[in-house]
C-alpha cells in the first residue's frame, strides 16, 4: 500500500515565507496542467497496477485556486486512475476560496473528506506582514461553510516566530483557533528558506523575529493549550483528537511508500526517490509526448534509509520501533546507533517505552539537534 501526493502549484498570491514550488496563477495553463496531471497518473499507475492507494493528499501551491469543474475533473481522475475508493482524501485550501459553497460542494461530491486550511495567524496586521491575502474574520466563514458542506475532518495551520509577533499575540491566535473546536491543528515555527522574500530580508538585516526564548515559550504554549483542549501531540508540529491524526502525513513519518504527481513533486517507491520537473512548461512538455516528467531518480542507500527511519519516526508520538527497524534493515538499532541512543538517554532527550524510542518533552524542543546525531558518517556495508 502507498500514498499519493498531488501538487497544484498555482497561487493567487505568493506568501513571503513560502518556498514550495508555486507560480502566480494568472496566465498559467491551468486546464492543460490538470489534464497532464491525470496523464502522469495513468502513466505511473500502468507500471504499478497492483499498488493499493490508501491516502491521497492534494497540496500546493493552493489547490483551492482550481475552478469547481477542475476540482471535479481531478477528483474523478483520482478515483478512476488510482483505484481510490475509500480512505483519507485531503485538499489544502485558502480561506478566501471557501467563502462560497461551489468549490466545497465540488470537493465533497468528489470524495474529499478532509480539509487543511491555511490560516497562519488570527492577527490581520501580521497576515498582511507575511503576505497572506485573507483576513481573520474570513476564517470563521470558511470553517462554517466547510461544516455546512458536510466536512467534519478539518484542520488549520498556524505559524509562530513571525515578524512582529509577541508571545501574547500567538497565544491569542491559539485561543481563537481552539474556539473553532476543530479536530486537528498544525503549528510550525517559521523557517527562513532560501529563495523566499523573508530570507532576502533577513540577509539585508531587515527582518526582526522573536528570539529563541520567546519561540520556545510559543511552542510550549501550543503544546499546553492543545493538551488542555483534548488534542494529543502525535507529531512534533501536529495535534489531533483521537482518530483524527493525518493518515497521509503519518505515512511520510513512518518512512513508507508514496507516489508524487505534479510539477516539483517527490515520490518514494521502494528505494527509488524521484523528483519531477518544477517549472510548469518543463513538467508539461514530456507529458505531451506521453513521457514521465521525472528530472531525477535517487536510489536511496541503506544508511540514508536508516537515518530517515530515525529522523522521521522520532518526530512522532509513537517513535521508532526496534522490531520494525530490525525487520526492515536486518540490523538492530543498537548495532547501528547504540552509543548515540545511550548518550541521548543520559542527556534526557530520548526515552524508551517497551520497544519504542521516543523524544522526551525536552527532546521535542531540540529535535533538529537530536536528529543530527543519527547521521551515519561511514558506509555500513
Mean pLDDT of all residues in the chain?
Answer: 95
pLDDT for the residue numbered 205: 87
Give pLDDT tens digits for 84-117. Answer: 988 999 999 999 999 999 999 999 999 999 999 9
The domains of the chain, with CATH numbers, are: 2-252 (3.20.20.70), 302-372 (1.10.10.920)
3-state secondary structure the chain: CEEEEEEECEECCCCCCCCCCCEECCCCCHHHHHHHHHHHHHHHHHCCCCCCEEEEEEEECCHHHCCHHHHHHHHHHHHHHCCCCCCEEEEEECHHHHCCCHHHHHHHHCCCCEEEEEEECCCHHHHHHCCCCCCHHHHHHHHHHHHHCCCCEEEEEEEECCCCCCHHHHHHHHHHHHHCCCCEEEEEECCCCCCCHHHHHHHCCCCCCCCHHHHHHHHHHHHHHHHHCCCEEEECCEEECCCCCCHHHHHHHCCCCEEEECCCCEEEECCEEEEECCCHHHHHHHHHCCCCCEEEEEECCHHHHHHHHHHHHHCECCCEEHHHHHHHHCCCHHHHHHHHHHHHHHCCCEEEECCEEEECHHHHHCHHHHHHCCCCCCCCC
Q: In the chain, what percentage of residues exceed pLDDT 70? A: 99
**Is residue 15 scored above 90 in pLDDT?**
no
Alpha-carbon gap, residue 240 to 153, rounded angstroms: 10
Give pLDDT tens digits for 212-246. Answer: 999 999 999 999 999 999 999 999 999 999 999 99
Alpha-carbon gap, residue 198 to 372, rounded angstroms: 26
Give pLDDT tens digits for 332-375. Answer: 999 999 999 999 999 999 999 989 999 999 999 999 999 999 99
pLDDT for the residue numbered 381: 61
Amino acid at each position: 500500500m502507498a500514498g499519493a501526493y498531488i501538487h497544484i502549484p498555482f497561487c493567487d498570491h505568493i506568501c513571503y515565507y513560502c518556498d514550495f514550488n508555486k507560480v502566480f496563477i494568472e496566465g498559467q495553463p491551468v486546464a492543460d496542467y490538470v489534464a497532464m496531471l491525470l496523464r502522469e497518473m495513468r502513466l505511473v499507475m500502468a507500471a504499478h497496477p497492483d499498488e493499493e492507494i490508501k491516502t491521497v493528499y492534494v497540496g500546493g501551491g493552493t489547490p483551492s485556486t482550481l475552478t469547481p469543474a477542475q476540482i471535479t475533473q481531478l477528483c474523478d481522475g483520482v478515483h478512476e486512475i488510482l483505484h481510490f475508493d475509500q480512505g483519507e482524501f485531503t485538499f489544502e485550501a485558502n480561506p478566501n476560496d471557501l467563502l462560497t459553497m461551489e468549490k466545497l460542494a465540488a470537493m465533497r461530491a468528489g470524495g474529499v473528506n478532509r480539509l487543511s486550511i491555511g490560516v497562519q495567524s488570527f492577527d490581520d496586521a501580521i497576515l498582511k506582514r507575511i503576505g497572506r491575502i485573507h483576513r481573520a474574520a474570513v476564517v470563521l466563514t470558511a470553517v462554517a461553510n466547510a461544516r455546512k458542506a458536510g466536512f467534519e475532518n478539518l484542520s488549520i495551520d498556524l505559524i509562530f516566530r513571525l515578524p512582529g509577533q509577541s508571545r501574547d499575540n500567538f497565544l491569542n491566535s491559539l485561543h481563537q483557533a481552539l474556539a473553532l473546536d476543530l479536530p486537528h491543528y498544525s503549528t510550525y515555527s517559521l523557517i527562513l528558506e532560501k529563495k523566499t522574500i523573508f530570507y532576502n530580508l533577513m540577509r539585508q538585516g531587515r527582518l526582526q523575529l522573536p528570539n529563541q526564548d520567546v519561540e520556545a515559550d510559543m511552542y510550549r504554549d501550543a503544546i499546553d493549550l492543545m493538551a488542555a483542549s483534548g488534542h494529543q501531540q502525535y507529531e512534533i508540529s501536529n495535534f489531533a483528537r483521537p482518530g483524527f491524526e493525518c493518515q497521509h502525513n503519518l505515512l511520510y513519518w513512518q518512512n513508507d511508500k508514496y507516489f508524487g504527481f505534479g510539477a516539483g513533486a517527490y515520490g518514494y517507491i521502494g528505494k527509488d526517490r524521484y523528483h519531477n520537473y518544477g517549472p510548469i512548461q518543463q513538467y508539461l512538455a514530456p507529458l505531451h509526448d506521453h513521457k514521465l516528467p521525472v528530472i531525477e531518480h535517487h536510489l536511496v542507500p541503506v544508511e540514508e534509509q536508516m537515518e530517515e527511519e530515525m529522523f522521521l519516526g522520532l518526530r512522532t508520538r509513537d517513535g521508532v520501533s526496534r522490531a520494525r527497524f530490525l525487520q526492515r534493515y536486518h540490523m538492530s538499532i543498537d548495532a547501528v546507533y547504540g552509543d548515540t541512543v545511550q548518550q541521548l538517554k543520559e542527556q534526557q532527550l530520548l526515552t524508551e517505552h517497551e520497544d519504542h524510542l521516543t523524544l522526551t518533552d525536552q527532546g521535542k524542543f531540540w529535535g533538529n539537534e537530536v536528529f543530527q546525531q543519527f547521521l551515519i558518517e561511514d558506509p555500513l556495508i
